[in-house]
Amino acid sequence: MDRLDNTIRPYAWGSTTAISELLGVAPSGEPQAEMWMGAHPGAPSRTARGTLVEVIEAAPERELGAAAVAKFGPRLPFLLKLLAAGAPLSLQVHPDLAQAKEGYEDEERRGIPIDAGHRNYKDANHKPELICALTEFDGLCGFRDPLKAADLLAGLGVDSLKPYVDLLHAHPEDAALREVLTAVLGADREEMARTVGEAAAACARLGGEYAPYADIAHHYPGDPGVIAAMLLNHVRLQPGEALFLGASIPHAYLSGLGVEIMANSDNVLRCGLTPKHVDVPELLRIVRFEAADAGVLRPEASPDGEEVYETPIDEFRLSRYVLPDGGAAHDLTRATPQILLCTAGSVRAGDHELSPGRSVFVPAGEKAAVTGTGTLFRATVIV
C-alpha cells in the first residue's frame, strides 16, 4: 500500500479555500481547482517507489491484477479527483467510445498536433464521470423539458429571446432543442453579447431560479453559453449525493467541493462558458438532444457498510464508508487496484494514518484493513 503525494491543479475557476480547508493547511491565495489521484501522465501521483505511472509500468499485473490488465490494458483506467469549483466550469459534453476512437483517428490522419488549441480528441477513450458532493454542490446536467426552458427564457422579458422561445414550442422536442442550441451558438457574436447582457440583468433582478444564471453571466459576460445553460437542468446536490455524466450529455459544474471519478481521458467538446475552442459542428454531432431529469444518485448500502454509487461503467467504481466511532475493522482487500481517500475524520488504512484529503494506492490483492472514525471513499474497477 502506497501513500500518495498528489498534484493540485491551479485552474482559474478553482476555489481559493475549499481544498486547503479540507487538507487543514493555510490557503495559498491562488485558485486550487483539482487534486489528481491516479496515473494520468499529466500529473501522476507520487509514491515512495516513484510516480504511480512508473510503479504500474514496472509490473502491471502485480499492481493492477491480471483481470484488469486483460480488460483495460496495462494502465489504471480511472482518475480520481477532489474538485473545488469557485466559479462555473465550461459547458461541455464527452464522446462515447466509438465517437472518441473515430474522432481521434480522424484528427491523427489530418495531422493536427495533439496539443493544438483546436484539437477535440486528445485520445481514443471515452470520458464518463461521476461527481459526489462533499459540500452543497451546484451544477447543470442534461436538457430541460423544452416547454420549461421556453418558460424560463420567456420570463426574462428579453425581446431578442422570443425566437428561441417560439422554437422551443416546436415538435419533436429533440429537433427543437437542436435548433435552439444551433441558433444560440451560431448567432452573431455582438448581437448575442447584447442579448446575454439584457438576460443577465433580468436574471439579477428576478433572482430565485434565475440566480444561478446571473452568477454564470457575471463570470462569462456576453458568452452564448449563458443562454445555452438555461436549456439545461439546474441541480443542487447535498453532501453524499452524486451525478453521473454519461456520453453526449451537456453539463457544467458551477460551485462546491466534490469527489470526482472518471475514465482516464482528456476528451472534451465545449458548448460555451470558456475562451477555449468551440467546434460547433462536431459538438452538434456528439450532443444527445433528449430532455430528461438530471438523475441524482444516492449510494446503495451493503451489509458490510460499503455505500456504492452504481453506474453503467466498468472503468471505475466509487463507493464510500462512513466509519462510526470505535467501529470494527473493515477488510477492503480486492483483486483489483484501489485508491482510498479520506474526506473526514481520521482513518487508518494498513500502516497509513489518513486525515482529510490524504490517500493511498492499494495494489490488486494486497491486504487492506481499515479502521478509525471518518469517511473514506474507495475507487476501483469492475472486471
- Residue numbers annotated as active site: 270
CA distances from 272 to 226, 262, 302 (A): 8, 21, 40
- β-pairing, 369-380 vs 46-47, is unpaired
Find the helix or strand (DSSP H, E) in which 242 lies.
strand 242-245
- Tell me, what amino acid is at 146? P
The DSSP result for 190-214, as a single string, is HHHHHHHHHHHHHHHHH-GGGHHHH
Dihedral sign from CA coordinates of 160, 162, 165, 170: negative
Which of 138-148 are b and which e, b meaning 16 or more Cβ less than 10 Å from the residue's Cβ? bbbbbbbebee
CA distance 166 to 147: 10
CA distance 229 to 273: 9
Instruction: Return the C-alpha cell found at 52.
Output: 504511480
Strand partners, 81: 36, 260
Instruction: Return the C-alpha cell found at 379.
Output: 475507487
Closest CA to 250 of 178, 356, 197: 178
